Amino acid sequence: MRLLHALARTHASFDDPNLVSRAGLVPVMALAQCAGLAGLVAAHVRPGGPCGVNAQLKIPCLIAGMAAGADGIEDMDLLRHGAMPDLFGGIRAPSTLGSHLRSFTWGNVRQLEAVNRALLGELACRAPLLPGKATLAFVDIDATQKRVYGRRKQGAGFGHTKIQGKSLLVRGLNTLAATISTPLGAPVIAAVRLRGGTANSARGAASFAAGAIASARQAGCTGLLIVRADSSYYSAAFCGAVRRSGARFSVTASMDAKVAAAIAAIPDDAWTAIRYPRAIWDDQLGCWVSDAQVAEVEYAAFASARKGRQITARLIVRRVRDLNKRAPDGQGELFPAWRYHAVFTDSPFELVQAEAQHRDYAIVEQVFADWTDGPLAHLPSGSFAANAAWLTCAAIAHNLLRAAGSLASLAYGKARGATIRRDLIDVAARTARHGHGHITLHLPEGWHREHEWMTLFTAACGPPAAAA
């Protein structure tokens, strides 16, 4: 690829008032408008002070900016270029949006969380989010430490996080998130909560799980619901809250003395080889030859907790062959050594399937990675409540992008947020007025995602579909 004109004869000028660089915001915000985003914000969110007015205009501005790739307050200026004021009304300056966020209190943040729950239910009615949700859905709960800089960040503290498989102390704020996914659908965010950097992962997790389950039910997950979490949430309070909410739990068990004793009591003939990384199918034996095996035993957990909090369920154990890679050639092992991973669950699925489903819990890490590559690249304010509101807006933007992608095509229903922004939102267009109040977007001819873009545009901006 090369330039056809000499550099001295190539010129550039930013002077066309009819161009926009992110025409994909039109169908995306049309979808938000049809789902009632502004009305939900007006009904629930009421910040105080002179900068807290018009939340129904300013919150959608923040969400639109995040959907277009903004990861800070200053980036919200991308909403004010070219013909954007001809396409959207109520656009506010970045400084106004920042002042609005700083007017939030913790109570206003909880009000915004209610908007996220209600909007997710509306989006699920208008887009094929979470296919198969009436049969089976998963709620995954995890926390991540978001690194922040500067000494004026309220609530910042040192907490543990994993970077390239290593646990490190990182100064930041702690983000607790719950996602909803199905075997056929990508995860959406049911609930988020910002906490101080020194917060323990399980702090407030029981009530948080109950709220996430309620959000999943509101989004149409009427079938079997399984809540998955790691060992940080292995407690009687967490598992009991999940059961009382009408869902099942699948939690990594802490390897304490009682769990170790239960594993040691499993007979050798009870282990089943599973399809695991590097497993090989043996045609003669008719099974997988693998370095991983699974077994299960009935287990009564939390017997030492307060009276009446003991829970009896299945203890599913996976063991992986622990090979000494440093052993010299010719020195074989005297007996096999294993590493054990236990899962405490009341899942109704059979052993191999239940264990594999729990390993898929790592899908929540994809949401964290998607956030870091998008609106959660920064927590832009020194105010803790403002950052918490920013986090909730990021969750709403994630769900909105997920709904837009699912309307565009099956592939975009599972695509990363960065992919949706690149192919469906960050496309230039020229506006042209005609007739009485009509406006047409002229997009690049031969755009490689023209079909998906028009499918999304028709679904979001066209007439509503006929009732079934």
pLDDT for 248 equals 97
Dihedral over alpha carbons 222, 42, 33, 63 (to 10 degrees): -90
Secondary structure of 84-146 as H, E, C letters: HHHHCCCCCCHHHHHHHHHCCCHHHHHHHHHHHHHHHHHHHHHCCCCCCCCCEEEEEEEEEEE
* C-alpha closest to that of 110 among 202, 192, 213: 192
Is CATH 3.10.150.10 the classification given to domain 20-325+334-422?
no
Cβ contacts of 140 within 8 Å, gap of 6 or more:
178, 179, 181, 187, 227, 228, 229, 361, 363, 364
Whether residue 370 contacts residue 417, with contact meaning beta carbons closer than 8 Å, is answered with yes
3-state secondary structure at position 147: strand
Cβ contacts of 334 within 8 Å, gap of 6 or more:
none
Whether residue 21 contacts residue 426, with contact meaning beta carbons closer than 8 Å, is answered with yes
Cβ contacts of 137 within 8 Å, gap of 6 or more:
130, 180, 181, 182, 216, 221, 223, 224, 225, 226
pLDDT for 418 equals 94
* C-alpha closest to that of 395 among 370, 361, 420: 370
- Annotate 204-266 with DSSP letters as a single string: THHHHHHHHHHHHHHTT--SEEEEEE-GGG-SHHHHHHHHHTT-EEEEEPP--HHHHHHHHTS
Helix (H) or strand (E) holding 363: helix 363-372
pLDDT means over runs of 10, the chain (468 residues): 90 93 96 96 94 96 96 94 93 96 96 97 94 96 91 89 76 95 94 94 92 96 96 94 96 94 93 79 65 91 78 93 60 70 95 93 91 91 96 97 96 94 96 88 94 95 57
Whether residue 219 contacts residue 130, with contact meaning beta carbons closer than 8 Å, is answered with yes
Residue with tokens 């277009």: 68
Whether residue 64 contacts residue 79, with contact meaning beta carbons closer than 8 Å, is answered with yes
3-state secondary structure at position 169: strand
φ, ψ of residue 252 to 5 degrees: the values are -65, 130
Cβ-count burial 285-313 (b if 16+ within 10 Å, e if not)? eeebebbbbbbbeebebbeeeeeeeebeb
Cβ contacts of 73 within 8 Å, gap of 6 or more:
94, 95, 97, 98, 101, 380, 381
pLDDT for 331 equals 57
pLDDT for 164 equals 64
Instruction: Tell me the domain boundaries of the chain.
Output: 20-325+334-422
Measured between its terminal Cα atoms, the distance across the chain in Å is: 51
